[in-house]
Amino acid sequence: MDEPVFPDKSQPPTDADLTIVLGRAKRHWDNIRDHAQETNPDASPEWKFYTKKSGWSFLLRGKRRNVLYMLPTGKRCFTVAFLFNKKAVQAAEHAGLPDDVSEIVRNGPQYPEGRAVRLDVTKAADVKSAKKLLAIKMES
């Protein structure tokens, strides 16, 4: 893993910090974040600092489970991540996702609580895939 974009635990990222780091991809960040919050109105947005190695991550926390994670990774790029249970993985196989996204779901690391699905977002097509993955997550 590369150095975290926001490694200082004492300073959570601001919207201005995100704009500097993400550049034009900030509009994709806002699109996914806003869509996730609109479709999960009871979910709470928060910035989380897990470790110095990973730095700050954005988390949308639902009442029963975490909805999604977003991690700024550099200029014009960020990662959106989900934790899929078996039902969500099976649903993703039949969801008509692009081949590269289906491969990410199939080959994501498996943990006791589910499969990690991490999608790098750099373009509008990635936003569409992220929204589809979010819908799968919420239906499972």
Structural domains counted in the chain:
1
pLDDT tops 70 at residue 42: yes
Q: What is the pLDDT of residues 95-113, one digit of tens each?
A: 999 999 999 999 999 999 9
Tokens of 100: 């590269």
Q: Indicate whether 112 belongs to any domain.
A: yes
User: pLDDT tier at 76 (50, 70, 90 boundaries)?
Assistant: confident
Whole-structure pTM value: 0.92
CATH number for position 125: 3.90.1150
Query: How remote is the C-alpha of 111 from its chain's centroid?
Result: 17
pLDDT tops 90 at residue 14: yes
Q: Indicate whether 8 belongs to any domain.
A: no
**pLDDT of amino acid 64:** 84
Q: Indicate whether 6 belongs to any domain.
A: no
> Whole-angstrom Cα distance, residue 49 to residue 95?
33
**pLDDT of amino acid 82:** 96
Provide the residue range defining the domain that includes 48. 15-139
